[in-house]
Amino acid sequence: MFSPSQEEHCDPTKDPIKYGELVVLGYNGSLPNGDRGRRKSRFALYKRSKANGVKPSTVHILNTPQASKAVNCKVQHSISYTLSRNQTVVVEYCHDKDTDMFQIGRSTESPIDFVVTDTVSGSQEGEETPITQSTISRFACRVVCERVLPYTARIYAAGFDSSKNIFLGEKAAKWKNPDGHMDGLTTNGVLVMHPRGGFTEESKPGVWREISVCGDVYTLRETRSAQTRGKLVECESNVLQDGSLVDLCGATLLWRTADGLFHTPTQKHLEALRQEINAARPQCPVGLNTLAFPSMQRSRALSSLEDKQPWVYLACGHVHGYHNWGHRSEQEPNAQRECPMCRTVGPYVPLWLGCEPAFYVDVGAPTHAFVPCGHVCSEKSAKYWAEIPLPHGTHAFHAACPFCATQLSLTQGYAKLIFQGPID
């Protein structure tokens, strides 16, 4: 559980007010080795017992490094913009009684509420893959929520460090706006995409934008860490909406509002759907043995395959039990297999249920599987994620499975599953 400094709820006698949740794409309900403390696959933002938000106040223009240190050692928060070796602009921030602030980043220091590390696609089997050099900032971004209805949440690039400072050095992209206030971008940037139509089955992908330190919206830079900013997009804002995606260059987060989560399936609902499929006793059309989806817990861990585990020929969607024939390639045994039902050749993979409810856009039955990973969810959820371009590397975008971050096939992002019922 969070210490009071990380997650302070309101009056303990009342139900805490939830602003929303941030869910990391690429995890099927929990981190591979389990959620621990501030490091987890999803983070709920609750109204704090005391407001901890800050807002800009005094601006100092300093001409010596010593003067800069003097200001930064004060108790209040500040953002330092180093213009040259001899000039720094320091913007002090004062307490804001009307907002709560939550900070996200790679650092495990106390100012970070939600510790996020790089997501490695498809690395759910057993141990977490170590990252030699992370591209996620130690203090990546901050979310500021208004403490009164409608609890508007806004996102800003960069977070305050242990000395309550955000420091933009000489090489960082920074500038003075026409109204006189300073602003800047972090090294690898914080990108945001608001889906058109919210997070529903009818939603369409929005346009990826970059968010500045002060919360303005810009078009993307030519490359992720270029020093020249994009163009200001005045008609868009940094207000998060249900289904907004936040990319930290190494991990992508999904924002779900409290109201949005109210309409998503629950773990109990997903478990009921799993039991419903298993109760229908689907059979392997060749071996005639009964198939069954593993428990939600085993699906989350991608633990060892079970005897009754359903497998699928992704090119056609026919569901079978595992069998060891029909190979078309010796090097990759399951990459090219011939379906005994229709003779279609393609990948042959085990099926795992998608266990993270926040990734579902509806409460439909799990009838479709992502290609090539085999994670199963509702048709509308599969279609939604197959159309979402997610940032990859410094300037590439591609669709990926939300449950394991595996890049989806360009020709076929998902497949409809064809089960055979019992013969008796």
pLDDT at 424: 47
pTM, whole model, 2 decimals?
0.89
Other CB atoms within 10 A of residue 16 CB:
16
* Sign of the dihedral through C-alpha 375, 380, 383, 385: negative
Residue 21 in tokens:
């949740």
DSSP 187: S
pLDDT (tens, 9 = 90+) of the chain, 424 residues, equals 233 334 444 444 468 899 999 999 999 877 777 777 788 889 999 999 999 999 999 888 888 766 666 566 667 899 999 888 888 899 999 999 999 999 999 999 999 999 998 888 765 444 455 556 788 899 999 999 999 999 999 999 999 999 999 998 878 899 999 988 999 999 999 999 999 988 988 889 999 999 999 999 999 998 888 889 999 999 999 999 999 999 999 999 999 999 999 989 998 999 999 999 999 999 888 888 889 888 767 665 555 667 789 999 999 999 999 877 656 555 565 678 889 889 899 899 999 999 999 999 999 999 999 999 999 999 999 999 999 999 987 678 999 999 999 999 999 999 999 998 765 4
State phi, psi for 261 to the nearest 5 degrees.
Answer: -65, -30
Query: Which residues, including other chains, have CB under 8 Å from residue 137's CB and lie 6 or more apart?
Result: 105, 106, 158, 159, 186, 187, 188, 248, 249
Residue whose C-alpha is closest to residue 69's, from 84, 83, 94, 90:
90
**Look-up of token digits 């039955």:** 365
| 400 neighbors 387 (Cβ within 8 angstroms) | no
DSSP 127: S
pLDDT at 303: 56
Categorise residue 63: left if φ over 0, alpha if ψ from -120 to 50, beta otherwise: alpha
Query: Which residues, including other chains, have CB under 8 Å from residue 11's CB and lie 6 or more apart?
Result: 49
| 358 neighbors 42 (Cβ within 8 angstroms) | yes
CA distance 253 to 393: 16
Distance between the two ends of the chain, CA-based, in angstroms?
Answer: 50
In the chain, what are the domain boundaries? 18-263, 267-416
Residue 154, beta-bridge partner list = 144, 239
**Distances 36 to 115, 121, 222 between C-alpha atoms, Å:** 10, 20, 37
**Distances 16 to 5, 10, 367 between C-alpha atoms, Å:** 16, 6, 36
Fold topology of 267-416: Herpes Virus-1 (3.30.40)
pLDDT at 8: 45
* Sign of the dihedral through C-alpha 93, 95, 101, 105: positive
CA distance 116 to 143: 14
Query: Which residues, including other chains, have CB under 8 Å from residue 285's CB and lie 6 or more apart?
Result: 318, 320, 340, 341, 420
**Look-up of token digits 């977490």:** 128
| 93 neighbors 54 (Cβ within 8 angstroms) | yes
Burial of 339 (0-12, 13-18, 19+ CB in 10 A): buried
pLDDT at 72: 60
136-164: string of b/e by CB count within 10 Å (b at 16+)? bbebbbbbbbbbeeebebbbbbbbbbeeb
CA distance 317 to 368: 9
CA distance 414 to 377: 10
Burial of 382 (0-12, 13-18, 19+ CB in 10 A): buried
